[in-house]
Amino acid sequence: MSLIERVSPRFVGDARLRRILADTGGDIALAHELFEWNVRASGAAMEAIYVFELVLRNAIDRELRVWNDGIAGTEDWLLRPHPYLLRAMNQSELSKAVTRARRIAADHDRPVSHDDVLAQMSLGVWRYILPSKANKSKQKLWTVAISNAFPAWPGEWSADSIVARVANVHGLRNRVAHLEPLHRYDLRRVRRDMRSVCHAIGPDAARFFVQTERLLPVIEANPAI
């Protein structure tokens, strides 16, 4: 990748350019290369997060469908959740997702479905539905349903291990969304976290993740290392 225009404060802002130049010893050519790398790294990170989030949400969704069907008589836990489930969720986020899904379904002249709502849920929903010592409902839901989404996790892992890894991925997602540089960020660690959580879902899920993301070679090409 080679940009026609050189990196400049007009395009990236004075503060960002000063930060990049500080990390390159004032070398403008290297600053340009570092900016290009950050663009590639942000794209590769979002690709990896895309795959990770799909694997994670579908694993959790499968278990919550089974649990909600058993206790509420329907698999559609996002449209007709058992009241206990609502206590473990961010109800505002759920309401927003349902509203968006209903609008999209109406545009296509059909009723809204569970999968419509699922598609509107953010990574933050999956992070914050995981167990929390401050929320007994989340702890209970983990025990009776969500922990089943991770059948291949190593025996020495605790629930906190899953929570911490997903939180790290969510942090990277927010960093990329807010256009923060990544050349000093530990992308290798977060990639391991994504792979580890996928492996806990199943070795095949980990293979799928590794085969469909391109973050590692981008990490290794970081000109700041």
**Contact present, 78 and 38 (Cβ < 8 Å):** no
pLDDT value at residue 15: 86
pLDDT value at residue 216: 94
* Regions of the chain with pLDDT less than 70: 1-5
pLDDT value at residue 14: 85
At 23, which amino acid appears?
Answer: D
pLDDT value at residue 203: 96
pLDDT value at residue 2: 54
Residues in CB range of 40: below 8 A, 6 or more apart: 1, 218, 221
pLDDT value at residue 13: 84
DSSP, residue by residue, the chain: ---SSPP-HHHH-HHHHHHHHHHTTT-HHHHHHHHHHHHHHHHHHHHHHHHHHHHHHHHHHHHHHHHHHHHHS-S-TTTS--HHHHTTS-HHHHHHHHHHHHHHHHHTTS---HHHHHHT--HHHHHHTS-BTTBHHHHHHHHHTGGGG-TTS-TT--HHHHHHHHHHHHHHHHHHHTT---TTS-HHHHHHHHHHHHHHH-HHHHHHHHHH--HHHHHHT-TT-
pLDDT value at residue 173: 97
Return the ∠ at Cα 84 (arms to 142 and 100), rounded to 5°.
95
